Amino acid sequence: MDDLRDLYQSTILDHNKSPRNFGVPADSNRDAEGYNPLCGDELHVYLRVDAAGRIDDIGFEGSGCAISRASASLMTEYVKNQSREEVDRVFDAFHDLVTKAPKEGATPESLGKLAVFSGVREFPMRVKCATLAWHTLRAALDQTDQTAVTE
Amino acid sequence: MSVANHDALPADRFDVAAVRAQFPVLADDGPGRTLTYLDSAATAQKPQAVIDALEDFYTREYASVHRGVYALSVRSTQRFEAVREKVCRLLHTSDPREVVFTRGTTEAINLVATSWGGQNVSAGDEIVVTQLEHHSNIVPWQLLCERTGARLRVAPIGLDGCVEVDAFEALLGPRTKLVALAHVSNALGTRLPVAALCQLARSRGITSLVDGAQAVPHGSVDVLAIGCDFYAFSAHKVFGPTGTGVLWGRRDLLDAMPPYQGGGSMIRSVSFEGTTYADAPQRFEAGTPDVAGVIGMGAALDWLEEIDREAAAAFECELLRYASEALEAIPGLHIFGSDPEKVGVLSFSLDCAHPHDIATILDREGVAIRAGHHCAQPLMKFYGVPAMARASLALYSDRSDIDALVSALETTREIFS
């Protein structure tokens, strides 16, 4: 039960139930779809990127498990006003958070609220649920027409 | 499936504890370590008899088949060929030449689509499947349609998960060449009226294939009574090893079909001027087969013959009723499919939790279920859900499994409430 509580922390359950930034932001100018072929999670991320390349506004739609939904919701809060470079850095740090044991002595990139996903690394089958939103965000920033997949 | 009225059958005659004791993976390993295995529709666990047969075969009797003149190879070949007769007994038929060994149901269907389909289906022809098919009974036909210009047509189901026979019949026309039907739905447990549906096909000269992967583990199958032309199943779902299965086909059809794959074993003679092919079933068995897998399948069928299948089906029916009632009592739980004749498959959703979250939480309580699209995405679309959670039963399932499932679902609700 303990590792389940680590996985399903109250922040995750809250964002699953009441996702933030759910919907399409006004004047969005980039978007991408994400799909997890293993479990059928579907996600659509919309961005309004300003002239300087910063994420001015962000929203998402779609259906998926609690981990993927909460991850998308928390991501939209986290990356608002960030540049592409900042997003890349957070993407890598988040990926490490959900896949690797923390290195002893190392100071991990501060991920703020995103740290609630640390429990995911005990559940390898659920990593893709947590990272789908991030893959989709990157695809939207790249504005490729291809559906982002977690494979 | 001959069992129609489960109520009249003696479920008490079935000793589930004795059956369960033969499955080492289900042994009680002490508190917190016992496995509640409710994913038998994906693959069944193996009884000790099958595990022993594989070990014994590799230890004492293993050699290539259909090749050597030495005693070991002769014995290996005899044991291998004897499994065709066991398959005949399982399917209530008699001609071992109608039994083709394949890698499983999927390859059996691909074999028919490629070989029979390539010969008999052309542009403008139609193939009929149902809305509830597994991808393995959809995609091979789509590939055939792409190759030939034929068209795939889909017989609808109702919300109860049952095929609408009138709508199915209405789809059969002068261009229909083949109907491909699940005997039992892997996602819903629906038992299709395959005998009636195949009869509708046969009376119009339409060939029929029945995907029996989910039916063989749950009761007696009589391919002649069904009246189908092809029947496919996998050993691993019927307590045998992975990697082997069967295509049963009417002999006149198999004899007329071109080879599926080329290679050793499937030829009569080879020369650069021209090659002639072996008769069925060897014609469809290129290369060294999964000899041990087939022997293991034979052991599984032997083991199954010792089971009182009628009593087992009655027991499963009662257990399914127990499980359905227990699940329906859980607030916010919805069961998909309500065929009164269905087998032990319970696909469900919980309003508070996604199937993947349910499966993760259940796993931590030692309960193994499947969550996902069950290789039946068109069916998920029909019900308007991305995924379902599925608990499925086999001969070794008992009330303790259901009680563990229900308790773990309570934990799920606690976490998500």
**Alpha-carbon span B235 to B217, nearest angstrom:** 9
**What is the DSSP track for B88-127?**
HHHTT---GGGEEEESSHHHHHHHIIIIIHHHH--TT-EE
pLDDT value, residue B1: 44
Determine contact, residues A46/A24, Cβ cutoff 8 Å. Answer: yes
CATH top-level class of A2-149: alpha beta
Q: What is the pLDDT of residues A79-122, one digit of tens each?
A: 999 999 999 999 999 999 999 987 766 556 678 999 999 999 99
Residue span of the structural domain in which B341 resides? 6-47+308-416
Q: Which of B271, B305, B339 is a domain's end point? A: B305
pLDDT value, residue B2: 46
pLDDT value, residue B74: 93
Q: What is the pLDDT of residues B90-144, one digit of tens each?
A: 999 999 999 999 999 999 999 999 999 999 999 999 999 999 999 999 999 999 9
In a domain, residue B1? The reply is no
The answer to whether the Cβ–Cβ distance between A129 and B371 falls below 8 Å is no
For chain B, say whether A63 makes contact (Cβ under 8 Å).
yes
Q: What is the CATH number for B107?
A: 3.40.640.10
pLDDT value, residue A151: 57
B375 is catalytic: yes
In a domain, residue B197? The reply is yes
Q: Which of B305, B335, B351 is a domain's end point? A: B305
pLDDT value, residue B14: 95
**Alpha-carbon span A49 to B279, nearest angstrom:** 67
Determine which helix (DSSP H) or strand (DSSP E) holds B128, and give its type and residue range.
strand B126-130
Q: Does residue B70 share a domain with residue B35?
A: no
- Longest CA pairwise span in chain A (Å): 48
In a domain, residue B104? The reply is yes
Q: Of chain A residues 109-128, which have a CB less than 8 A from chain B?
A: 123, 125-126
**SS3 at position A57:** strand
Q: What is the pLDDT of residues A43-84, one digit of tens each?
A: 999 999 999 999 999 999 998 999 999 999 999 999 999 999
Query: Which among A5, A63, A129 is the nearest to B386, CB-wise?
Result: A63
Q: What is the pLDDT along chain B (417 residues), one digit of tens a residue?
A: 444 455 555 788 999 999 999 999 998 776 666 899 999 999 999 999 999 999 999 999 999 998 888 999 999 999 999 999 999 999 999 999 999 999 999 999 999 999 999 999 999 999 999 999 999 999 999 999 999 999 999 999 999 999 999 999 999 999 999 999 999 999 999 999 999 999 999 999 999 999 999 999 999 999 999 999 999 999 999 999 999 999 999 999 999 999 999 999 999 999 999 999 999 999 999 999 999 999 999 999 999 999 999 999 999 999 999 999 999 999 999 999 999 999 999 999 999 999 999 999 999 999 999 999 999 999 999 999 989 999 999 999 999 999 999 999 999 999 998
What dihedral angle (degrees, nearest 10) is formed by the CA atoms of B132, B137, B138, B141? Answer: -140
Q: Does residue B335 share a domain with residue B404?
A: yes
Query: Which among A13, A66, A123 is the nearest to B354, CB-wise?
Result: A66
Give every CB contact of residue B90 below 8 A, 6+ residues apart in sequence.
B216, B221, B301, B304
For chain A, say whether B375 makes contact (Cβ under 8 Å).
no
Q: Does residue B358 share a domain with residue B398?
A: yes
Residues of B in contact with A42 (CB under 8 A): 386
ipTM field: 0.88
Q: Which of left, alpha, beta for A10 (phi over 0: left; psi -120 to 50: alpha)?
A: alpha
Closest-CA distance, B256 to chain A, in angstroms, reads 39
The answer to whether the Cβ–Cβ distance between B416 and A66 falls below 8 Å is yes
Q: Which of B305, B327, B357 is a domain's end point? A: B305
The answer to whether the Cβ–Cβ distance between B386 and A64 falls below 8 Å is yes
Best mutation target among A1, A2, A3, A4 (most B Cβ atoms within 10 Å) is: A4
